[in-house]
Structure 1
Amino acid sequence: MVRLMDETGFSESDGGQTPGLMADQGAVKPATDDGAYRVLARKYRPKTFEDLVGQEPMVQTLENAFETGRIAQAWMLTGVRGVGKTTTARILARGLNYEVPGVADKPTVKLTQEGTHCKAIMEGRHVDVIEMDAASHTGINDIREIIDAARYRPATARYKVYIIDEVHMLSNAAFNGLLKTLEEPPEHVKFIFATTEIRKVPITVLSRCQRFDLRRIEQSKLIGLLRRISDAEGIQISDEALMLIARAGEGSARDSLSLLDQAMAHGAGAIEAEDLRQMLGLADRARVIDLFGHIMAGRIEDALGELQAQYEVGADPAIVLTDLADFTHLVTRMKVAPKSADEASVTEAERARGREFAEQISVRLLSRAWQILLKGVQEVQAASKPLAAADMVLVRLAYAADLPDPGDLMAQIKNGQNPFGGAAPSGGGGAPAGGGGGTSAMAVGMNYAPGSSGSGPTMQASARPQLSAIQGGRPAPQGVPQAAPEPQAQPAYNLKSLYDCAALASEKGDIPFKVKIQRLMRLVKFEPGKIEIQPTDDAPADIAGEFGRKLTEWTGQRWFVVVSRTQGRPTIHEEQEANQQQLLSDAKSHPTVAALLAQFPGARVVDVKVQVTEEDDAALADPMVSDPLLSEALGDDEDD
């Protein structure tokens, strides 16, 4: 979070205090001399390190560095949008060039009064503090200008500071051209980089910078910030409306202030929660909770009617599903960490009903609902008819809410147990009683496993959950179910490496994805059911999700594939190339081959094929050998 101060004397602090206006100030002064309006994000911009509340580790590091004279030549500021990266860069440039005649004449983080260069630096117009937008200056020629100008000393300030925003947009040639100057710059030159995509910055650049990760602003602190700014602007706004803005801002001060600006124009001096919902296309949180209750109780007709009603008053179906996912997350947190209900961002309705749901719903059902909603939001956003897509997500969620885990269900059926406890399904899913003494038949349907795409069908029953008591639903009638059909046994797969996964893709006939496994994935960690990979630069953005879905479909077991920031081992293709090059090198150094090459000038070794012996066949049969795709390159015997 940031503490903000503007020209009016308003200072936003972290303690939840009321804003302090100057004694001789009756109203907020115009932001500029000519009376032009300045948006809140610029008007209340931090100006000192003390204003950067929530960034204490960075401030402490800089303070110690300035006091001991250990000032780095470059800094890398990273974080989500709107947390103050560019503003922090300007404050850092101000601290480097801080100078007050007769008071201070060295770099410091204690900017107690405005110095000689402070105003020009904070307004972005100082001749020795050069700001460059890398999004519009991406080429090597732009970097060459910086390199040429860096040789000359600053005109008036202590340091010549280059602030490069969105540095990840520079081209590879520009990055390479900057490396030498970045590593050994002149003593009077400092670099400050800012980026939202730190993974796109080459490691060669990161290794030459001190990196600071600016944190998101907590919702409770963001609400306090918005309240103080609203009071300073003379705007009446309800607490619920502030909470909606803070949630929509997602930890970004700039996004939240931009929404507050828009709400001030929309409300014309008074802002209520209902006005803000219409402006943002949000659904009423109480109605979202009602929709959640309908779904968990299996009342599909009521759920679809509630979604239609919210849509008719302007709610976006994708946002409704997002709010449902948020409430599912809140209920899950209340179940595993009850103290989370006391957070300031939680309304009284969410707190009361969330605790009620947390007592009734298991973590397994909540996790399943979260998976379906997470995938459903993406489907609605990509659909040509969002409302129809949202309807289908709710139907899927309502029918899956009470289902047992597929693995447990199959295990119980295999063992001859009745997984439904003798209860017939309710909600119209069961068949009418036959002539066998009033018993009812159990309805068994086919559905795809939640959270996966294209996975094999699993048997499901249409029994409703145990929430009927708190939602007013009717209990399910009792009956004797019929025997479920015997599930088909699936072959067992013992996957231990990416080589096994590539071989499985080949076995399933999915050659394109086999090539992706071999060329676009670097393995970081391989565990049963979980794989950590580092995709290559040219890999699709959703390759991890696609990999997990295909493994789940092929094996019948749940696989999670996650993207890791840790550097992975080379890809299968890279390892194969390296092995082949090693074989060529070994062959060239063999005495016999060397003699042949010497005997026939111009001859060269173009390929090496290894003869597989009976001992090698035995080695391939060894379960410890997990590299079937490289069997043709087996063995390190140089005599081959």
Structure 2
Amino acid sequence: MSYVVLARKYRPRSFAQMVGQEHVVQALTNALTQGRLHHAYLFTGTRGIGKTTVSRILAKSLNCTGPDGRGGITAEPCGVCQACTEIDADRYLDYIEMDAASNGGKDEIKDLIERAAYKPGIGRFKVFMIDEAHQLSKDAFNALLKTLEEPPEYLKFVLATTDPEKVLPTVLSRCLQFNLRPMAPQTVREHLQRVLEAENVPADAGALRLLGRAARGSMRDGLSLTDQAIAYGGGRLQEDVVRTMLGSVDRSHARTLVQALAAHDGAAVLAAVEALRGRGLSAAGTLEEMATLLQQMAVQQAVPGALDEQDPDTEDARTLAPALQHDETQLLYSIVLHGREELGLMSDEYGALTMVLLRFLAFPAAGAGTRPPPAAPREPARAAPLRAPAPPAVAVPLPVAPKTAAPAASVASVASSAPAPAGPAPWDDAPPPPVPRAAEPAAAPLQPASRAAAADRSLGDRWYALVKPLCDDGTLSALARELALQGGLEAIDTSSQPPRWLLRVERETLRNPTLRDKVAAALSGALGHPVALELLAGPPEDTPARRDAAERQRRQAAAEAAIQNDATVRELLSQFKTARIVPGSIKPL
């Protein structure tokens, strides 16, 4: 007797044997039990999740006569009557399956409609099943519409598709639609374990986990891969053998790379990639395993304890979750997920893998992990026009603000010259005094920070005046620029040589020796003598970034006040009762 592949041998023969589609099974079972039968059904979902199987079980339920030949419509087909056995064997005269991928033309549909005119030969209902229905031509759909809407009482239509968006809306409206869901890896794994036990094939838990993930939600794919693994492993499923067959990358490699990236250790990243090259492991598989690990880390960070402690694959995620801040985990996940598309663009996939991973070191997340970023500036939106019922649009020019006036604002093409309030900065009542870039004012040893004396803002003024030009002219760039802008000067110790500058920085990723040395070198060049820069942990109170954000907020508030108080704008609002200023549309000029 010839061998029957597992996907066919273990295809469900009844609703009770269906796995992972309980919502569809329950709805169809209730409809069959209550006799509430629709004339057309549409089953949607990805490949290998049971669309054709549900169609066959439904056909058996409609035509089952029971073991004694006197049964009626049932949600539990007997499996032994003529209808049940012949539908399972794919030779029942009144159950017709048509593949629209190869028979999707108008002529084929016309032939199907002609066959629909005749009553069932041996069954209770004729059931026409059209697979990949989205590939029917437009003419074929139109030819089918009338029969699909008002079929004879003995005719049932079943349509199956992987892409319901390509099915005509007029067809969708005539069908009762069920969406079959991709199955969870655990569901696939548990079913494969039952199948292998029935086949007396030994398998370890690691091999089943790999097959469950590789199935990607398709039970048919999972069974096909299991067939392949049995042949590859000589009748036995072991994790290392299945991993080799699938080309999967061991979790230890993904763990090593995530650890190296979390530590910002570029040398360790390069060494790990070379190790992958030496073993011949897949670069795409590496990124996929990293994405899985990072997804689990993100879950652990957001909801501690949510990961299944019985699953050994989650141990690394629980261990590594504190190594990255929340925003960094999300950034790295996005990088590795999209990086798979770039691997084929280079002849050396390991070189492409290196560039994908080093991208995380070059462009870290802008947020501050579990802590909210300090004084995040509000980015003004583009201006929008005032709207009124009639006329449709209003654009009234106003006097242009003089050069000495407060910042102007605009709403679409309307500009205002109304003066804006001064708005003192939150750290002081007066603007900081300018300090020449190359000059170093005298400083007493260990000057106190603003935390110790709120009135003394000289260190913040000095740091802002010194590093802002270095950032603007490009002397400090990328992460070094971020370190300078996000840091707050705490003290200057002139008693040591070279002078010791203490900078408080909140983000751990910025407290990096390499970045510190770059900023120290820029400061030394600007001041004309060496500077020793030390980084302190903790949130600073006064930073250049906060000052810039406060200034942007002040200008935005002034612009909004100028528009709100402008006489012409107020006249327009009073003239057109439904007119309004669109929130967020005011932008300082």
How high is the TM-score relative to the length of structure 2? 0.66
Number of aligned residue pairs: give it: 433
Q: 1:145 to 1:105 in 2, by over 3 A?
A: same
Contact 2:375–2:546 under 8 Å retained in 1: no
Residue 460 of structure 2 corresponds to residue 374 of structure 1: no
1:356 maps to 319
1:391 maps to 354
Q: Which digits, 9 at most, give the CA deviation of each residue in 1:181-229, with x for residues without a partner?
A: 0000111111111111111111111111111111222222221211122
Contact 1:296–1:401 under 8 Å retained in 2: no
1:352 Cα deviation from its structure 2 partner: 3.0
Contact 1:41–1:254 under 8 Å retained in 2: yes
Residue 84 of structure 2 corresponds to residue 118 of structure 1: yes
Q: Which digits, 9 at most, give the CA deviation of each residue in 1:355-392, with x for residues without a partner?
A: 23323433222122222222222222444432222111
Residue 30 of structure 2 corresponds to residue 64 of structure 1: yes
Higher relative contact order (CA 8 A, sep 6+): 2
Report 1:238-257 matches (<5 A): 238-257=204-223
1:108 Cα deviation from its structure 2 partner: 0.9
Q: 1:86 to 1:296 in 2, by over 3 A?
A: same
1:237 maps to 203
In structure 2, what is the Cα distance between the partners aligned to 1:142 and 1:487?
A: 70
Q: Which digits, 9 at most, give the CA deviation of each residue in 1:51-104, with x for residues without a partner?
A: 113333323322332233321111111112111111111111111111126464
1:322 maps to 288
Secondary structure in structure 2 of the residue aligned to 1:341: coil
Contact 2:79–2:85 under 8 Å retained in 1: no
**Cα RMSD between the aligned structures?**
3.6
2:229 maps to 263
In structure 1, what is the Cα distance between the partners aligned to 2:239 and 2:306?
A: 23
Residue 14 of structure 2 corresponds to residue 48 of structure 1: yes
Secondary structure in structure 2 of the residue aligned to 1:338: coil
Look up the equivalent residue of 1:439 and give its one-letter code.
A
2:512 maps to 426
Contact 2:77–2:84 under 8 Å retained in 1: no
Secondary structure in structure 2 of the residue aligned to 1:340: coil
In structure 1, what is the Cα distance between the partners aligned to 2:513 and 2:155?
A: 73
1:47 Cα deviation from its structure 2 partner: 0.4
Look up the equivalent residue of 1:184 and give its one-letter code.
E
1:365 maps to 328
Q: 1:131 to 1:425 in 2, by over 3 A?
A: same
Q: 1:104 to 1:48 in 2, by over 3 A?
A: farther
Report 1:463-478 matches (<5 A): none
Q: Which digits, 9 at most, give the CA deviation of each residue in 1:400-450, with x for residues without a partner?
A: 3465469958958x98785145257535343365474642499xxxxxxxx
Report 1:573-588 matches (<5 A): none
Report 1:462-541 matches (<5 A): none
Residue 265 of structure 2 corresponds to residue 299 of structure 1: yes
Q: Which digits, 9 at most, give the CA deviation of each residue in 1:530-575, with x for residues without a partner?
A: xxxxxxxxxxxxxxxxxxxxxxxxxxxxxxxxxxxxxxxxxxxxxx
In structure 1, what is the Cα distance between the partners aligned to 2:305 and 2:375?
A: 37
In structure 1, what is the Cα distance between the partners aligned to 2:136 and 2:253?
A: 47
Contact 1:410–1:487 under 8 Å retained in 2: no
In structure 1, what is the Cα distance between the partners aligned to 2:122 and 2:16?
A: 26
Contact 1:441–1:482 under 8 Å retained in 2: no
Q: 1:148 to 1:409 in 2, by over 3 A?
A: same
In structure 2, what is the Cα distance between the partners aligned to 1:426 and 1:290?
A: 20
In structure 1, what is the Cα distance between the partners aligned to 2:217 and 2:543?
A: 53
In structure 2, what is the Cα distance between the partners aligned to 1:485 and 1:84?
A: 57
Q: 1:218 to 1:146 in 2, by over 3 A?
A: same
Report 1:73-222 matches (<5 A): 73-100=39-66, 102=68, 104-222=70-188
1:135 Cα deviation from its structure 2 partner: 0.2
Look up the equivalent residue of 2:142 and give its one-letter code.
N
Look up the equivalent residue of 1:428 and give its one-letter code.
T
1:327 Cα deviation from its structure 2 partner: 0.9
Report 1:587-606 matches (<5 A): none
In structure 2, what is the Cα distance between the partners aligned to 1:289 and 1:357?
A: 8
1:568 maps to none
Q: 1:485 to 1:360 in 2, by over 3 A?
A: closer
Secondary structure in structure 2 of the residue aligned to 1:301: helix
- Tell me which moved more, 432-441 or 121-130: 432-441
Look up the equivalent residue of 1:182 and give its one-letter code.
L
Computing the radius of gyration from Cα coordinates, the structure with the larger value is: 2
In structure 1, what is the Cα distance between the partners aligned to 2:58 and 2:309?
A: 34
In structure 2, what is the Cα distance between the partners aligned to 1:307 and 1:195?
A: 41
Contact 2:66–2:72 under 8 Å retained in 1: no
Please, which of 280, 284, 288 is the counterpart of residue 250 of structure 2? 284
Secondary structure in structure 2 of the residue aligned to 1:82: coil
Q: 1:339 to 1:426 in 2, by over 3 A?
A: closer
* Structure 1 unmatched runs, 5+: 1-34, 443-474, 495-614, 627-640
Secondary structure in structure 2 of the residue aligned to 1:67: helix
In structure 1, what is the Cα distance between the partners aligned to 2:347 and 2:184?
A: 35
Q: 1:206 to 1:231 in 2, by over 3 A?
A: same
Contact 1:298–1:399 under 8 Å retained in 2: no
Secondary structure in structure 2 of the residue aligned to 1:304: helix
Contact 2:78–2:84 under 8 Å retained in 1: no
1:277 Cα deviation from its structure 2 partner: 1.9
Question: Percent identity of the aligned residues?
Answer: 36
Contact 2:262–2:323 under 8 Å retained in 1: no
Look up the equivalent residue of 2:219 and give its one-letter code.
A
Look up the equivalent residue of 2:36 and give its one-letter code.
R
2:438 maps to none
Contact 2:127–2:157 under 8 Å retained in 1: yes
Contact 2:486–2:544 under 8 Å retained in 1: no
- Tell me which moved more, 224-233 or 375-384: 375-384
In structure 1, what is the Cα distance between the partners aligned to 2:295 and 2:121?
A: 55
In structure 2, what is the Cα distance between the partners aligned to 1:313 and 1:94?
A: 52
How high is the TM-score relative to the length of structure 1? 0.61
In structure 2, what is the Cα distance between the partners aligned to 1:182 and 1:326?
A: 44
Secondary structure in structure 2 of the residue aligned to 1:398: helix
Contact 2:486–2:543 under 8 Å retained in 1: no
In structure 1, what is the Cα distance between the partners aligned to 2:72 and 2:546?
A: 82
Look up the equivalent residue of 1:379 and give its one-letter code.
E
Secondary structure in structure 2 of the residue aligned to 1:46: coil
Q: 1:226 to 1:363 in 2, by over 3 A?
A: same
Secondary structure in structure 1 of the residue aligned to 2:532: coil
In structure 2, what is the Cα distance between the partners aligned to 1:124 and 1:135?
A: 19
1:439 maps to 532
In structure 2, what is the Cα distance between the partners aligned to 1:101 and 1:112?
A: 7
Secondary structure in structure 2 of the residue aligned to 1:117: helix
Q: Which digits, 9 at most, give the CA deviation of each residue in 1:465-517, with x for residues without a partner?
A: xxxxxxxxxx99xxxx99899989999xx9xxxxxxxxxxxxxxxxxxxxxxx
Secondary structure in structure 1 of the residue aligned to 2:224: helix
In structure 2, what is the Cα distance between the partners aligned to 1:371 and 1:276?
A: 28
Q: 1:88 to 1:292 in 2, by over 3 A?
A: same
Secondary structure in structure 2 of the residue aligned to 1:279: helix
In structure 2, what is the Cα distance between the partners aligned to 1:121 and 1:386?
A: 49
* Structure 2 unmatched runs, 5+: 378-424, 428-459, 465-484, 489-502, 557-571, 584-589
Q: 1:297 to 1:402 in 2, by over 3 A?
A: farther
